[in-house]
Amino acid sequence: MEAMPAERPRARHWSSPLSMVLFPAALWIVLPLWGTHALLITLVLLAGIQWLAGEHRTRWAMVMILLLALLLGGQAELGIRLYPVMINVSLALIFLGSLRSTPLIERLARLSEPDLPPEGVRYTRRVTWMWGIFMTLNAVIALVLALWAPLHVWQVWTGAISYLLAALLMAGEWLVRRRVRRKVVQA
pLDDT, averaged per 10 consecutive residues of the chain (187 residues), comes to 45 57 88 93 89 84 92 95 93 94 93 90 96 97 98 96 96 91 75
Contact criterion met (CB below 8 Å) for 159 and 23: yes
Please report, for residues 19, 61, 72, the alpha-carbon distance to residue 49 in angstroms, rounded to integers and kept in the order given.
9, 10, 20
pTM, two decimal places: 0.85
In this prediction, residue 17 carries a pLDDT of: 64
In this prediction, residue 187 carries a pLDDT of: 65
Angle at 165 between CA 163 and CA 170, to 5 degrees: 95
In this prediction, residue 13 carries a pLDDT of: 52
